[in-house]
Amino acid sequence: MKKKRISLRIGVIIISSIMAMMLISFFYTPYSVTEMNKRERFSPPNSSHLLGTDNFGRDILSRLMKGSQTAFFVGGVAVSIGLIFGIAIGATAGYFGGVLDEFIMRIMDSMMAFPGILFALMFVSIFGVGIKNTIIAIGIMSIPSFARITRSGYMQHKEFEYVKNARVKGISTFRIIFAHILPNVMSPIIVAASMGFSSAVLSEAALSYLGLGVQPPDPSWGRMLNESQVYISMAPWYAIAPGIMITLIVLGFNFLGDGIRDMQDKGK
């Protein structure tokens, strides 16, 4: 039990610190994010630039802070897309069952077998690169896992007495699905959402690293890693900081998910 609490605590601490950093970045960053300074190119971490500067002499800390906005924005919107469609699809398949279920789950399974990055690449190659399409692609990618979890919850709960009672009372199917069953199957979905956030951030970083995700001047940690790689022998610090940020945020959401799940298990 002690160890489990630790998961939740670590998760909350990491995520809330990065969130605080993001909120601060709306009002204040040590330097301008876009301002270039030729004289201060590649200065290693020092008292005026805590994390050093990049190839344009921009302050890395400031760019990291702004980058957290992108990470949360992409993660948040993508997970919401996944949640909305995943729950709708999973609930339909699980509640109605039969051929419809078979058909939907076949499609979801094929989507799941697909490497996410491949799908995202296909998506941006068709609709073009940019933050909007990145988010949509990542969102679509995350639908199957939410659908799967929702479905199994509904398959279980539709057999329960309270659902049968509701049906006898003549409550509309729509209401039964969303007002009666949904709150009861939410707990694993919340855990999946937290984990989904991690994979969304990872996918965004990978796409942006490939130059097919977030485009300049929007700051993105993945993109920063891409730029840093060219200059790694001159400025290794540039490649360290964004990587740590990505790792931290992913770790944070994974721990958070684990922690929430353990809390739910304990409640039972």
Partner 1 sequence: MYIYLRKFTAMILTVLFVSVITFVSFEIIPGDPVLSRLGVDADEAQIKALTEELGLNDPLPVRFMKWAAGVFTGNLGESSRYSRPVIQLISERIPVTVSLALISMALIVVFGIPLGILSAKYGDRLPGISISVISQLGMAIPSFWTGIILMFVFGLILKWVSPGGYTSWDVNPAEAFKSLLLPSIAIALPSIATVTRYTRNSIMEQMKKDYVRLAYSKGLKTNSVLFGHVLRNALIPVITVLGMITANILGGSIVIEQVFTLPGVGRLLINAISTRDMPLAQGMILYISLVIVLVNFVIDIIYTLIDPRIKLK
Give me the phi and psi of 230, to 5 degrees please.
Answer: -60, -35
Q: Is 122 in the site for partner 1 (CB under 8 A)?
A: yes
Shortest distance (Å) from residue 27 CB to partner 1: 29
SS3 label, residue 59: strand
Contact 263, 87 (CB under 8 A): no
Q: Is 143 in the site for partner 1 (CB under 8 A)?
A: no
Q: Give the number of residues in contact with partner 1, rule: CB under 8 A.
A: 43
Q: Is 220 in the site for partner 1 (CB under 8 A)?
A: no
**Burial 155-168, CB ≥16 within 10 A → b, else e:** bebbeeeebeebee
Q: Report the C-alpha gap between 13 and 107 in whole angstroms.
A: 38
Shortest distance (Å) from residue 181 CB to partner 1: 27
* CA geometry: angle 20, 9, 254, nearest 5 deg: 80
Q: Is 19 in the site for partner 1 (CB under 8 A)?
A: no
Q: Which amino acid is at 156?
A: Q
Contact 224, 59 (CB under 8 A): no
Shortest distance (Å) from residue 134 CB to partner 1: 13
Q: Is 243 in the site for partner 1 (CB under 8 A)?
A: yes
Residue 225 tokens, joined: 């890693």
Q: Which amino acid is at 73?
A: F
Choose the binding region for partner 1 from 70-78, 80-88, 148-156, 224-232 (rule: CB under 8 A).
224-232
SS3 label, residue 53: strand
Q: Which of 73, 114, 178, 231 binds partner 1 (CB under 8 A)?
A: 114
Q: Is 17 in the site for partner 1 (CB under 8 A)?
A: no
Q: Report the C-alpha gap between 263 and 62 in whole angstroms.
A: 36
Q: Is 225 in the site for partner 1 (CB under 8 A)?
A: yes
Q: Is 106 in the site for partner 1 (CB under 8 A)?
A: yes
Q: Is 45 in the site for partner 1 (CB under 8 A)?
A: no
Which spans of this chain sit near partner 1 (rule: CB under 8 A)?
3, 106-107, 109-110, 112-118, 121-122, 124-127, 198, 202, 205-206, 209-212, 222, 225, 228-229, 232-233, 236, 239, 242-243, 246-248, 250-251, 254-255
